[in-house]
Amino acid sequence: MKPILLKVAGLQSYREMQEIDFESLCETGLFGIFGPTGSGKSSLLDAITLAMYGKVERAVNGTQGIMNHSEDSLSVAFTFELTSSAGVHRYRVERKFKRTGEQTVSNTISRFIEVTPDGDNVMADKLADVTRCVEEHIGLKMDDFTRAVVLPQGKFAEFLSLRGVDRRQMLQRLFHLEQYGDQLALKLSRRVKENEAALRALEAEQQGLGSAGKEDVEAAAERLEQAAQHAAECRRKLEAALQVAERFTRIRELQEERTRRELQRQGLLSKEEEILLLERKLGQADEAEARLPALKAWRSAEEAFKSRLTRAEGQEVLAAAAEQEAARAA
């Protein structure tokens, strides 16, 4: 990471906006910041850390007491370059804070910007997202950054006294060696557990097999033969039982059929009187059907007789009328 430009206002002893052009300072390759105690030397490192991670390493809770007592707002902007195989890229991190109490502040603006010849490209604009972008591009968390890049006042001894685990993890993040460090350790640990589990399974299987000496093999063969004979006997008994069960099943089916037929017979017996009545009615119907032609002939003769009688009566009436007419004429 190469620093390019730092802007800070309202941070500790810096009330008004201050700009530090690192490109000019780095022209000779090396520069120093000098001044009496309290002049703001460490505050410049605090400004860089605050811009990158939104916190100051030596402040309580990261932000408590960082704002100048005479100001109600604080702003930092840090521009830097990163060089990789893809080339040189320039980025700027901006953060602004406002006072919420005598010692407390609240973040109002956070932005991670890629600076390009065509203009600025805002890559993140939320507090957590900006910090995440910084960690992804720099490859360092805040603890690593303050230990390896920016060593605040009195922290050099702490860096030298890092324990083996902390130092190894920090170097892994610095040089992107996680795949050869913790990740490799996790893979090895998982492989060891898998091998141990496989070994325990084999041991359990071996214990289940027991001894395999000559006498044990002969005894096992004898037990196998006895088991085969016992299995054959069991099969014979099973076949006999199946035959008995089949015979009993047939008997049960016949009994059920007999019961069903008996129920049908009882039902018919209960309807015997009704059947006899129906038979009588059927006989009467047959008899009536046999007499039906004679009845039809009698009715036809009766109709013919009535018709002749009606005609005869009509003729008598006409004859009487004719006689009366003749009498009146005489």
H or E element at residue 310: helix 272-329
Residue 9: pLDDT band with limits 50, 70, 90? very high
Specify the pTM.
0.48
Give the per-residue pLDDT at 142. 85
Backbone angles phi, psi at 269, to 5 degrees: -60, -40
Please check the confidence at residue 163 and state whether its pLDDT lies above 60.
yes
Q: Which of 259, 266, 243, 4 is nearest to 115 (CA)?
A: 4
Q: Give residue 244's pLDDT.
A: 87
Range of the domain at 217: 211-291
- The whole-chain average pLDDT of the chain stands at 83
Judge if 155 and 193 occupy the same domain: no
Residue 79 is part of a domain; what is its CATH number? 3.40.50.300
Asked, for residue 314, whether it belongs to a domain, the answer is no
**pLDDT (tens digit per residue) in 28-39:** 777 788 888 777
16 and 63 housed in the same domain: yes
DSSP string, 2-68: EEEEEEEESBTTB-S-EEEEHHHHGGGS-------TTSSHHHHHHHHHHHHHSS-TTSBTTTBT-B-
Residue 302 lies in a domain: no
User: Residue 320 domain-assigned?
Assistant: no
User: Using one digit for the tens of pLDDT, what is the confidence trace for 15-65?
Assistant: 899 999 998 888 877 778 888 877 788 888 889 999 999 888 778 888 888
- 132 and 31 together in one domain: yes
Number of compact structural domains in the chain = 3
- pLDDT at residue 73 greater than cutoff 70: yes
- Mean pLDDT for the stretch of residues 249-254: 89
Q: Residue 167: what pLDDT?
A: 64
Task: Write down the pLDDT at residue 7.
Answer: 95
* Co-location of 203 and 286 in the same domain: no
**99 within 8 A of 73, measured Cβ to Cβ:** yes
Torsional class of 3: left (φ above 0), alpha (ψ -120 to 50), beta (otherwise): beta
User: Both 105 and 244 in a single domain?
Assistant: no
Higher pLDDT, 73 or 314: 73
pLDDT band at residue 90, thresholds of 50, 70 and 90? very high
Residues 202 and 138 in one domain: no
| Residue 85 in domain | yes
pLDDT at 153: 53
**Which residues, other chains included, contact 74 with Cβ-Cβ below 8 Å and sequence gap of 6+?**
9, 10, 11, 66, 67, 68, 96, 97, 98, 105
The least confident of 118-127, 195-204, 311-320 is: 311-320
Identify the pLDDT of residue 77.
Answer: 95
- In angstroms, the CA 2 to CA 27 distance is 12
Which of 134-138, 146-150, 240-244 comes out lowest in average pLDDT? 146-150
User: Average pLDDT for residues 322-326, to the nearest whole number?
Assistant: 79
- pLDDT tens digits, one per residue of 175-192: 555 565 666 677 878 888
Q: How deeply is 308 buried, as exposed, middle or buried, from its count of CB atoms within 10 A (0-12, 13-18, 19+)?
A: exposed
- Assess whether 232 and 119 both reside in one domain: no
User: Between 156 and 167, whose confidence is greater?
Assistant: 167
Percent of the chain with pLDDT over 70: 87
Give the per-residue pLDDT at 191. 87
Count of beta carbons in the 10 Å neighbourhood of residue 128? 10
Claim to verify: residue 189 and residue 230 sit in the same structural domain: no
